[in-house]
Structure 1
Amino acid sequence: MSTSRPLLAALSQDDTDLDNEETIQRLTELVKAAVNDKNPLIQLEDIYRALAQHDGIEFLDAFAVIPEILPCTRMGTVDLVTLIADQVDPREIVVIIQEVVEYLQSAIDYDEEDTDGTSAPVTQIIHLVILCARALPRSRIRRTSAYGILQPVMANLELLISTVGHVEVKADGRRLLREISTLITTLFRWVETSGTPDDAAKTKICLSTLADTTVRACVRSIRASLAARLFEQHFSRLIVTSAVEPDWEEGHRAMLQVINALSVIGITPGMISPTPAFSQLIYLAHSPVPLPPPIPLLHNIHSLLLTSIQMNLALDESLFLLLSSLSRLRALSQLTSSDHMSATTPTAVFGPARPPSHAFSPSSKTSAHPNNNGGLPSVPASLPRAELPVDIVSSLSTVLPSLASTHTDPFIRHVTLRTFSLLLWLAPPTLRLEILLELTSESAIPQMRAAAIGLVKEAVLDALEREGSGRVNGGGAVTDAANGSPRSVASSGSSGSMGSPRSGVSDGHSPPPPPLPGGGGEGSSSPDGSPTRPGLASPGSRKTSSSRSVNAKAKNPFASPLLLQAFGPVLFRTIPDDYLVNVSCAADLEESLEPSRIAESLSLYYVIVQRDVDNRTGVRDTSSIESVEASLLRPLRLFLEDWLRDHEPILPLVSLKLGLDRVDEALAVLRRQGKPRS
């Protein structure tokens, strides 16, 4: 044993004549003071430098010191942990790690662990991971194999991470991901060089399980803004304030390190398995390799997407995968040729997952203009489109509306509504109608009802265009929802604050940007939610039988009289019937969702009247006009006249007055032209 005098002198200890045991005790006291005292005389970084310069690690009591420094976040902590891991007997470190893990598990289970910034369990786990990564490969292989040494330590570490739950602090989660990546790479290479192939195979399973657990625990800390970057890259004209995290690159790099570490042990996270785990959803979203074809991908992960949305977990990754897959399908549908491509042919539907790097750049003259189809070539309306399987549409339609209307983040609400709009665009028309009937019914989520009217509006415009009726990209008759403006979404509280994109999605998943349909406004209801019509399922009774795909081949109901038969009794009236009669003060209007729903219904009616020039829906029939006049327009007109005569105008009524005036003007033009049909 070397003399302790140089070490003690370096630490400004005057009584340098201490024996070795006294030196160990003194050094332990100095470490404890450096960790716990508010203003220690000697800092941890000073202790680290003295130990490193004077080979003083032999005077350090690892069993006493390691538990003290693990929770510490002061300068020099990581350096001291690293020095101990590199020089202390690895057998001692393994014993200490196991003791600390058991203590932490017990403390977390009984909620006794302090959770302030200096002793949070995550900090201790990070330091434990550093110890494992550097100390375990120094172990001597005798009777126990390398796998036999690491397996119990990794099992306890994995259990500890799962016990901690979700890591909410961004910096902690990202750092843990980086350290786990280093641990996986280091330990696997150690086993590969010192163990048998069987050991390597078992180590691969052990380490991949550890990676999965860590990624699930840290998913809320990644925050790489995948969905926001994809959305802002392709729909920059909708952006007001950017929703991209300023430091998204840190989260992105942390996940790439995990993916690279898994590649070292022979796992390709970008490849999808028949029964993927939840962690694979996260790997897929962050993987730099092209995404699998959209329909097989959605078939495999849609149950995970449902879980993610319902649990409010990995939403960024789930929305990215959904938006990417659905927009790829829509873009490819719009680019298909009836002579060369079919919606049922895999090569036609799926296409490449990674576009050319120059495609649809923000500087492109065609990429951002609202009337040029998002930079995509225009195609004849009669070309076939891809349709998503009914089970995928039905299952996602049970969760996306709730997320779009109730999530606390405005951007999440906005991008979810846009994603849901894409989903409906790819749905069979009859199923699309049934879903929208449910969402506009009285039993639907109140905040979603008027937004759903905006989705009905774009379904009508889409159907009329596909059927060859209406003016494509036609000036004043095109409402905000039709051309993708965020106005109607904003009115529902479903639009986020989104600004100019600071960057695109740099990992190459992004498809050529399709135009994304708009959304509706706010709050609605219906009389009973289930108008009974021949051949129309009532809301709430959607089935997932494959027969719907056959029915979808029939005439689009959104461009037929079925549209008004289904939605007329739900939308073109007040809910309840005596709503306007019972309004007694401004608060009744300002605190109600009904004015917004009525405004959206007026907007929908105006659009149908203006765009259905061939009267495919029967909206220009005299009987239809008289019905809407009696159920909605006349009562609303009388109410507004009475209210505005005796009260100051308020915002909800201004919106209703403008909408009503616009409808009245459109109907007056029809009457002057003699176009209402008997």
Structure 2
Amino acid sequence: MFLNFIQEKSTEILALITMASHDNDFKPTLTDIYDELVNDSSTASLLDPLNALQPLLGSSEKVASNILDLMGKCCNAMEIVIGVQEAVEQLEHQLATDIDDEQVEPNGQLLMLIGMYAAAIPRLKFGKEPVSETLKPIVIELASAFRRAGLHSSREEGSRIMEATADLVVKLDSWAKMQPDAQQDEIASCRILYQNLLDSTVMSYGQCLQTSLATRTFTRWFPRLSFRSVPGAGWQEGQNAINAVLNSYNLIGFSAKALASTPSLCHFVLLAHCQDDSLKTIRTLSTMLPIIINCIRANHFLDECVSFLLDVLCPYHAEISEDISMPLCAVLPSLASTHPDSSLRHQTFRVLSLILSLSPPPFRLQVLKDLCSTSDFPQMRVAAVGLMKEAVLEAFGSHAPSSNLFASPRFLQVLGPILFRPNPPDFFSSAPSLTVLEDSSEPTRLVECLALLYVLILQDKKNQTGIRDRDNLKNIDRQLLEPIRRTLSVLLNDPDVAKKHVHAVLPLVALNVGIERLGETIKKEGLHTFN
């Protein structure tokens, strides 16, 4: 009689939940049902998880997740596990067939299901089957669902699922270790499953986190330049999520040191977020380099790539191998030139500068020559002149400048024809209009070239590059400076140009300032070769 009463009561609760889940106007509402269940734990234990899960998962009411949470804590643990497994399988099937169905909210459902697993599995009693065999299908199904659902995840959902999965792993590991007959090999088998689940979570949701990692790392290493780089709002939530995952890895015996020694995309992402900078070494960079190159080419995990490179290169002062610098110099210019985020472009440019400063002078000279002449990106042809100026200043600031190619005649031989003439050479053959100058990157490049020439003349007091030779100065004057002066004379005296907005004439003003400063410097240095 009592059993019949329980069955009838359970059936009644299920009917009410089913009706209320499909009809928001139904009385009692899901909120009413939840309040009743909370007030009477004995009634809550009568919930039927095998049949009530699906209507609750499909409900748009927020209180549905509260009922599911209560169910996970109060109902039969084995029934919960079976019901959740079925729900995960069904959700994955939906994602495979109804991927454009706006009614499917896979990550919200997964979040509830993970919570139910975390509440129910630690209440399971050990049977004859090993724990790892019980957990294996659960982990495989969750990982598969993550891979599909991650494509549809919002930033908030990604963070919450990563934290929920990390919490699930912690509870599963504690549960497995507390079993009376737990063996070390069985615990190890379980931990391999946990690691696979965490790996799948990172790979499925890592791109959702938006932690502004590169920006925060850049601010730490370049505080004076950080005004251009401001972390995005809400970055803390994503960082808290990845920290929770890192803590879970550590708990199951997979330390940050192990991440550094076993290269994979997942481990690289985790290592980039790891706060132990002692693991971010040139050796680790060499190990992870193929992964970093592939990420940059695929426009994938760029935040982690730039941050990791900054953390490795900024404190490093020895020369790096061309095996590292060459592949990076092949992909970074594109990222520094074309990425839509100006902060990331700037940060990448600084990384490129660091790599070149740590590279052998012959390699550095060749890369800069290529960037200044054959680069597919006009922005990089301009910016590379600034990198050239950095190399010159470093060369003349060193203890033995004569041994550096950037302080030798080789500098002008290789780069003079590229830097100290217009590109194309006939750019000033007839005075270009103001519109032509506005639409071209050449005026900006020439301003940088004039600044480099100014620095070179001042730095090379002993004429180690030959920049002070009369013939070299005459050639530079004939090929570069005189055409610029002639063009400025025409345009700055044009009444129509004078009426233009200040932004339109800025290229002319910058060129004029560069020419005047050079003229004054030449006279001051006693090099009377220019007109």
Instruction: State if a TM-score over 0.5 links the two structures.
Output: yes
The one-letter code of the counterpart of 2:33 is I
Q: Distance in 1 between matches of 2:237 and 2:248?
A: 17
Partner of 2:18: 28
Cα deviation code 1:274-332 (max 9, x no counterpart): 44111111221222334326221211112222122222222222222211111111xxx
Q: Distance in 2 between matches of 1:626 and 1:58?
A: 94
Q: Distance in 2 between matches of 1:4 and 1:398?
A: 75
Q: Distance in 2 between matches of 1:247 and 1:87?
A: 35
The one-letter code of the counterpart of 2:453 is Y
The one-letter code of the counterpart of 1:388 is I
Does residue 442 of structure 2 align to residue 457 of structure 1? no
Q: Distance in 2 between matches of 1:75 and 1:160?
A: 22
Where do 1:506-585 residues align within 5 Å? 555-581=403-429, 585=433
Give the direction of change, closer, same or farther, for the CA distance of 1:2–1:569 in structure 2 (3 Å limit): farther
Where do 1:324-403 residues align within 5 Å? 324-329=311-316, 333=317, 386-403=318-335
Percent of pairs identical after alignment?
32
Which ranges of structure 1 fall in alignment gaps of 5 or more residues?
A: 8-17, 334-385, 470-553
Give the direction of change, closer, same or farther, for the CA distance of 1:99–1:19 in structure 2 (3 Å limit): closer
Shift, 1:393, TM fit: 0.7
User: Which of 197, 205, 230 is residue 217 of structure 2 equivalent to?
Assistant: 230
Q: Distance in 1 between matches of 2:9 and 2:453?
A: 93
Give the direction of change, closer, same or farther, for the CA distance of 1:19–1:127 in structure 2 (3 Å limit): closer
**Greater relative contact order (CA < 8 Å, ≥ 6 in sequence):** 1
Cα deviation code 1:583-608 (max 9, x no counterpart): 65433221211111111111111111
Q: Distance in 2 between matches of 1:466 and 1:428?
A: 14
Partner of 1:200: 187
Contact 1:437 1:567 in 2 (8 A): yes
User: Which of 459, 466, 482 is residue 398 of structure 2 equivalent to?
Assistant: 466
Shift, 1:140, TM fit: 3.0
User: Which of 611, 623, 628 is residue 471 of structure 2 equivalent to?
Assistant: 623
User: Which of 595, 609, 613 is residue 457 of structure 2 equivalent to?
Assistant: 609
User: Which of 365, 373, 376 is residue 433 of structure 1 equivalent to?
Assistant: 365
The one-letter code of the counterpart of 1:641 is S
Does residue 208 of structure 2 align to residue 221 of structure 1? yes
Cα deviation code 1:236-276 (max 9, x no counterpart): 22233551234333222222211111122111034444441
Cα deviation code 1:390-413 (max 9, x no counterpart): 111111111211111111111111
Q: Distance in 1 between matches of 2:395 and 2:468?
A: 17
Shift, 1:168, TM fit: 5.1
Does residue 249 of structure 2 align to residue 256 of structure 1? no
Cα deviation code 1:335-386 (max 9, x no counterpart): xxxxxxxxxxxxxxxxxxxxxxxxxxxxxxxxxxxxxxxxxxxxxxxxxxx1
Q: Distance in 2 between matches of 1:273 and 1:240?
A: 32
Contact 1:101 1:156 in 2 (8 A): yes
Q: Distance in 2 between matches of 1:19 and 1:137?
A: 27
Q: Distance in 2 between matches of 1:583 and 1:60?
A: 85
The one-letter code of the counterpart of 1:659 is G
Q: Distance in 2 between matches of 1:218 and 1:611?
A: 52
Which secondary structure state, in structure 2, belongs to the residue aligned with residue 444 of structure 1?
A: coil
**Deviates most, 633-642 or 274-283:** 274-283
User: Which of 589, 599, 620 is residue 447 of structure 2 equivalent to?
Assistant: 599
Q: TM-score, normalised by structure 2?
A: 0.90
Which secondary structure state, in structure 1, belongs to the residue aligned with residue 394 of structure 2?
A: helix
Q: Distance in 1 between matches of 2:195 and 2:168?
A: 11
Does residue 122 of structure 2 align to residue 137 of structure 1? yes
Partner of 1:171: 156
Count residues with an aligned counterpart: 519
Partner of 2:501: none
Give the direction of change, closer, same or farther, for the CA distance of 1:22–1:284 in structure 2 (3 Å limit): closer
Partner of 2:497: 648
Cα deviation code 1:118-142 (max 9, x no counterpart): x421111111211222222222322
Contact 2:159 2:241 in 1 (8 A): yes
Give the direction of change, closer, same or farther, for the CA distance of 1:557–1:40 in structure 2 (3 Å limit): farther
Partner of 1:86: 73
User: Which of 662, 667, 672 is residue 522 of structure 2 equivalent to?
Assistant: 667
Partner of 1:180: 165
Give the direction of change, closer, same or farther, for the CA distance of 1:201–1:65 in structure 2 (3 Å limit): same
Contact 2:443 2:511 in 1 (8 A): yes
Give the direction of change, closer, same or farther, for the CA distance of 1:94–1:293 in structure 2 (3 Å limit): closer
Give the direction of change, closer, same or farther, for the CA distance of 1:574–1:456 in structure 2 (3 Å limit): same
The one-letter code of the counterpart of 1:438 is D
Contact 2:91 2:145 in 1 (8 A): yes
Contact 2:259 2:270 in 1 (8 A): no
User: Which of 139, 145, 161 is residue 160 of structure 1 equivalent to?
Assistant: 145
Contact 1:438 1:444 in 2 (8 A): no
Contact 2:10 2:47 in 1 (8 A): no
Shift, 1:199, TM fit: 2.1
Partner of 2:350: 418
Contact 2:313 2:354 in 1 (8 A): yes
The one-letter code of the counterpart of 2:357 is W
Give the direction of change, closer, same or farther, for the CA distance of 1:112–1:282 in structure 2 (3 Å limit): closer
Q: CA RMSD in A?
A: 2.7
Which secondary structure state, in structure 2, belongs to the residue aligned with residue 240 of structure 1?
A: helix
Q: Distance in 1 between matches of 2:28 and 2:363?
A: 72
Shift, 1:582, TM fit: 6.0
Contact 1:166 1:216 in 2 (8 A): no
**Deviates most, 606-615 or 157-166:** 157-166
Q: Distance in 1 between matches of 2:48 and 2:487?
A: 85
Which secondary structure state, in structure 2, belongs to the residue aligned with residue 619 of structure 1?
A: coil
User: Which of 376, 383, 386 is residue 444 of structure 1 equivalent to?
Assistant: 376
Contact 2:56 2:65 in 1 (8 A): no
Structure 1 segments (4+ residues) deviating >6 Å: 1-5
Q: Distance in 1 between matches of 2:12 and 2:238?
A: 46
Give the direction of change, closer, same or farther, for the CA distance of 1:422–1:28 in structure 2 (3 Å limit): same
Contact 2:260 2:279 in 1 (8 A): no
Q: Distance in 2 between matches of 1:157 and 1:147?
A: 15
Partner of 2:52: 65
Which secondary structure state, in structure 1, belongs to the residue aligned with residue 44 of structure 2?
A: helix
Cα deviation code 1:159-183 (max 9, x no counterpart): 1111234465221111111100111
Q: Distance in 2 between matches of 1:237 and 1:62?
A: 58
User: Which of 333, 339, 344 is residue 407 of structure 1 equivalent to?
Assistant: 339
Give the direction of change, closer, same or farther, for the CA distance of 1:113–1:49 in structure 2 (3 Å limit): farther
Shift, 1:115, TM fit: 4.2
Contact 1:28 1:64 in 2 (8 A): no
Q: Distance in 2 between matches of 1:258 and 1:97?
A: 23
Give the direction of change, closer, same or farther, for the CA distance of 1:623–1:230 in structure 2 (3 Å limit): same
Q: Distance in 1 between matches of 2:80 and 2:9?
A: 25
Which ranges of structure 2 fall in alignment gaps of 5 or more residues?
A: 499-504
Partner of 2:502: none
Contact 1:126 1:175 in 2 (8 A): yes
Where do 1:47-126 residues align within 5 Å? 47-54=33-40, 55-57=42-44, 59-70=46-57, 74-115=61-102, 119-126=104-111
Which secondary structure state, in structure 2, belongs to the residue aligned with residue 143 of structure 1?
A: coil
